[in-house]
């Protein structure tokens, strides 16, 4: 009986674990999904500006920690309409995780053929 | 059987020929070096030209590829097929030189050279400011023109040969120009000897004939000695006349070869020179076996006369001359002053003499050499300073009577 209970608890934890959104999904998507510029488009904009993975991630992290109009890659019209985002409240570790997920999700290497 | 004489008067001594050969060798070495240098420059300029053409082609391909990648970036990810071409291969790399996508064959890429060729492929690199799909470097690769190298080398080789022929013609022209004064001086000397020779014949013949006819029995001892001296002097001049005639007139005539009894000939010539040898108290010792040789009589007589005459001329007083004749060689050995080892090879040069204190023009051994060469005989000179000289002439197999 105890074994059955343990098994059910573990299964429910596994199911729940699958459904737990990662930090990128939790911290980024909720805000961006209401904006006209998709995260994929912003990714392509960053890619066009910073090219390599390390540069991309470092630049994005620097911007998220200290957003400024001068360092934003978004078009001027965007800035005028939506202004520059607020400073992130994520820790460095969370920020790295979120950016890694973002990079992996839209990496062109996996999509070109 | 006769041996035709086809050698003209050889105006150049072997030392001059050697100088000429050295000059020509130096000239051709320099010409070949200059041509190689020019060939290298030509190759490099053609290579630059080829690079320039290829650069233009690759630049056009790169431009075309950038346009397509720009469109792909804009439409990504709805469109995600990397643009390909049948005329070139390409690859895109990010700012960290990490591959984004590539159809290149070459794996060893050089990010720092805008254009390079390796493994039969020409590759260009374009550096971008707008990183479409993240690309900082765009590589365009095409196969090299396989015929380019062989066609350029063929051009260089053909041009090189033409220039070499032109320069060789110039070289020969300059050599002739350079040698003309030398040839002229030798020809002048030959002409002088030739003219002089004509004037010698009649008086010498008259002197010798009259000396022979004189009755020495009724002469006193003093007069007999005087007549002997006249005879020696006349024979010396006669010998010189024979050499000069041979050199200037006879050597161009066709040889009349016949079987010559060398033993009789040598005995006859020794007797002819006996008075001359007697004047220096030089004694002949003869060791002659019977031998015959198929040769022109006048020419073999010139050889024997010159060898005996030199043996007398350069002998010491009361010296000896040993003449040996065997079936296939004869040898004249004197007890004279000898020749220095380094000068042995020069004694056959025209106008060269063993010793300037003795008279003569230095043409005797040159005549011997020309006859020896004409009949492919072999001559060997052994000499020791102060002890004497031995000259041996070996006959060619087939020219001697083997019976």
Query: Does any domain span residue B402?
Result: no
Q: Would you state the torsion angle of the CA atoms of residues B273, B274, B278, B284, taken in this order, to the nearest 10 degrees?
A: 100
CA B278 from chain centre, in angstroms, equals 45
**In the predicted structure, residue B71 carries a pLDDT above the cut 90:** yes
When pLDDT is averaged across residues A2-27 and rounded to a whole number, the result is 63
When pLDDT is averaged across residues A20-37 and rounded to a whole number, the result is 86
**In the predicted structure, residue B5 carries a pLDDT above the cut 50:** no
B121-133 pLDDT, tens digit per residue, is: 999 999 999 999 9
Regarding predicted confidence, which is higher, B101 or A31? B101
When pLDDT is averaged across residues B98-103 and rounded to a whole number, the result is 94
Q: Using 50, 70 and 90 to split pLDDT, how confident is the model at B296? A: confident
Q: What is residue B194's predicted lDDT score, i.e. its pLDDT?
A: 73
**In the predicted structure, residue B75 carries a pLDDT above the cut 90:** yes
Query: Does any domain span residue A3?
Result: no
The pLDDT mean for chain B works out to 84
Q: Using 50, 70 and 90 to split pLDDT, how confident is the model at B251? A: low
CA distance B291 to B393: 13
B140 shares its domain with B265: no
Q: What is residue A20's predicted lDDT score, i.e. its pLDDT?
A: 64
Quickly list DSSP for B288-317.
Answer: E---EEEEEHHHHHHHHHHHHHHHHHTSPT
Q: How far is B119 from chain A (nearest CA, A)?
A: 27
DSSP letter at B68 equals H
Least confident of A106-110, B3-7, B102-106: B3-7
Q: Provide the domain limits for residue B296.
A: 254-394
- CATH number for the domain including B375? 3.30.565.10
The shortest CB-CB distance from A108 to any of B95, B130, B134 is to B134
The verdict on A25 touching B (C-beta cutoff 8 Å) is no
Last residue of a domain, one of B119, B144, B169: B144
Where does A20-91 have alpha helices with state H? 23-27, 29-32, 39-50, 53-65, 76-82
Main-chain phi, psi angles of B95, to 5 degrees: -65, -25
Pairing of strands B99-102, B292-296: unpaired
Q: Using 50, 70 and 90 to split pLDDT, how confident is the model at B15? A: low
Q: Residue holding tokens 């001068």? A: A70
Contacts of A47 in chain B (CB under 8 A): 131, 133-134
Query: Does any domain span residue B153?
Result: no
Q: Residue holding tokens 């950016």? A: A99
- The greatest distance separating any two alpha carbons of chain A, rounded to the nearest whole angstrom, comes to 65
The shortest CB-CB distance from B82 to any of A49, A54, A113 is to A113
Burial of A30 (0-12, 13-18, 19+ CB in 10 A): exposed
The verdict on A51 touching B (C-beta cutoff 8 Å) is yes
Q: What is residue B105's predicted lDDT score, i.e. its pLDDT?
A: 93
Q: ∠B140-B69-B93 over CA atoms, to 5°?
A: 55
Q: What is residue A21's predicted lDDT score, i.e. its pLDDT?
A: 74
Q: Residue holding tokens 């000429």? A: B20
Main-chain phi, psi angles of B43, to 5 degrees: -60, -45
Nearest-Cα residue of chain B relative to residue A47: B134
Last residue of a domain, one of B85, B114, B144: B144
Residues 6+ apart with CB under 8 A from B251: B5, B7, B9, B367, B370
Regarding predicted confidence, which is higher, B238 or A87? A87
Q: How far is B95 from chain A (nearest CA, A)?
A: 5
Main-chain phi, psi angles of B121, to 5 degrees: -130, 145
CA distance A48 to A43: 9
Tokens at B303, concatenated: 């050889």
Q: Residue holding tokens 């002053």? A: B337
Query: Does any domain span residue B107?
Result: yes
Query: Does any domain span residue B66?
Result: yes
ipTM above 0.85, yes or no: no
Query: Does any domain span residue A50?
Result: yes
Query: Does any domain span residue A105?
Result: yes
CA distance A49 to A42: 11
Binning chain B into helix, strand and coil, the percentages to the nearest 5 are: 55, 20, 30
Regarding predicted confidence, which is higher, B10 or B188? B188
The verdict on A112 touching B (C-beta cutoff 8 Å) is yes
The shortest CB-CB distance from B76 to any of A54, A108, A113 is to A108
CA distance B69 to B73: 6
Query: Does any domain span residue B374?
Result: yes
Last residue of a domain, one of B127, B144, B161: B144
CA distance A68 to A87: 9
Contacts of A40 in chain B (CB under 8 A): 77
Q: Provide the domain limits for residue A56.
A: 21-110
Pairing of strands B292-296, B283-288: unpaired
The shortest CB-CB distance from B96 to any of A48, A52, A111 is to A52
Query: Does any domain span residue A75?
Result: yes
CA distance B186 to B165: 30
Least confident of A17-21, A51-55, B172-176: A17-21
Least confident of A25-39, B176-190, B245-259, B381-395: B245-259
**In the predicted structure, residue B387 carries a pLDDT above the cut 50:** yes
Contacts of A111 in chain B (CB under 8 A): 76-77, 80
CA distance B51 to B402: 77
Q: ∠B285-B328-B373 over CA atoms, to 5°?
A: 100
Query: Does any domain span residue A91?
Result: yes
The verdict on A89 touching B (C-beta cutoff 8 Å) is no
Q: What is residue B95's predicted lDDT score, i.e. its pLDDT?
A: 94
Query: Does any domain span residue B291?
Result: yes
B133 shares its domain with B260: no
Query: Does any domain span residue A79?
Result: yes
Q: Using 50, 70 and 90 to split pLDDT, how confident is the model at B403? A: low
Beta bridge partners of B287: B324
Residues 6+ apart with CB under 8 A from B32: B164
Q: What is residue B365's predicted lDDT score, i.e. its pLDDT?
A: 85
Number of separate domains in chain B: 2
B109-161 pLDDT, tens digit per residue, is: 999 999 888 888 999 999 999 999 999 999 999 998 878 888 999 999 999 99
Q: Are A88 and A64 in contact (CB under 8 A)?
A: yes
Regarding predicted confidence, which is higher, B364 or B98? B98
Q: What is residue B1's predicted lDDT score, i.e. its pLDDT?
A: 34
Number of separate domains in chain A: 1
CA A34 from chain centre, in angstroms, equals 15
B135 shares its domain with B259: no
Is A50 in Cβ contact with B95 (below 8 Å)? yes
């Amino acid at each position: 009986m105890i074994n059955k209970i343990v098994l059910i608890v573990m299964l429910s934890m596994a199911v729940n674990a699958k459904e737990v959104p990662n930090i990128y999904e939790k911290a980024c998507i909720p805000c961006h999904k209401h904006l006209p510029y998709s995260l994929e488009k912003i990714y392509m904009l960053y890619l066009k500006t910073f090219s390599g993975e390390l540069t991309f991630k470092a630049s994005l992290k620097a911007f998220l920690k200290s957003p400024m109009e001068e360092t934003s890659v978004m078009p001027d019209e965007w800035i005028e309409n939506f202004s520059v985002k607020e400073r992130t409240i994520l820790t460095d570790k969370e920020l790295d995780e979120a950016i890694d997920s973002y990079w992996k999700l839209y990496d062109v290497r996996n999509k070109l053929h | 059987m006769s041996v035709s004489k086809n050698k003209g008067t050889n105006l150049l001594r072997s030392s001059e020929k050697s100088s000429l050969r050295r000059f020509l060798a130096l000239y051709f070495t320099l010409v070949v070096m200059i041509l190689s240098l020019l060939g290298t420059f030509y190759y490099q300029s053609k290579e630059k030209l080829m690079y320039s053409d290829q650069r233009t082609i690759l630049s056009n391909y790169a431009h075309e590829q950038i346009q397509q990648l720009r469109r792909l970036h804009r439409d990504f990810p709805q469109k995600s097929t990397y643009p390909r071409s049948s005329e070139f291969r390409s690859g895109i790399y990010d700012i960290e030189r990490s591959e984004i996508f590539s159809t290149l064959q070459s794996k060893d890429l050089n990010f720092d050279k805008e254009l390079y060729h390796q493994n039969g492929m020409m590759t260009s690199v374009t550096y971008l400011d707008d990183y479409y799909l993240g690309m900082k470097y765009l590589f365009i690769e095409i196969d090299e023109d396989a015929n380019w190298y062989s066609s350029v080398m063929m051009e260089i080789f053909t041009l090189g040969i033409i220039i070499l022929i032109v320069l060789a013609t110039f070289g020969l022209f300059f050599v002739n120009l350079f040698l003309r004064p030398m040839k002229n001086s030798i020809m002048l000397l030959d002409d002088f000897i030739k003219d002089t020779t004509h004037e010698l014949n009649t008086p010498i013949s008259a002197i010798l004939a009259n000396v022979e006819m004189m009755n020495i029995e009724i002469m006193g001892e003093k007069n007999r000695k005087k007549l002997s001296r006249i005879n020696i002097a006349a024979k010396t001049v006669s010998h010189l006349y024979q050499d000069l005639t041979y050199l200037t007139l006879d050597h161009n005539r066709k040889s009349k070869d016949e079987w010559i009894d060398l033993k009789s000939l040598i005995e006859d010539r020794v007797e002819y020179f006996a008075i001359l040898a007697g004047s220096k108290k030089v004694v002949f010792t003869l060791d002659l076996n019977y031998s015959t040789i198929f040769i022109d009589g006048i020419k073999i007589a010139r050889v024997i006369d010159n060898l005996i005459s030199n043996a007398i001329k350069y002998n010491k007083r009361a010296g000896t001359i040993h003449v040996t004749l065997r079936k296939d060689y004869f040898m004249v050995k004197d007890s004279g002053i000898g020749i220095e080892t380094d000068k042995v090879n020069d004694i056959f040069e025209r106008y060269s003499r063993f010793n300037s204190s003795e008279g003569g023009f230095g043409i005797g051994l040159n005549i011997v050499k020309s006859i020896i060469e004409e009949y492919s005989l072999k001559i060997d000179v052994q000499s020791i300073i102060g002890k004497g000289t031995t000259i041996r002439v070996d006959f060619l197999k087939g020219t001697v009577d083997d019976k």
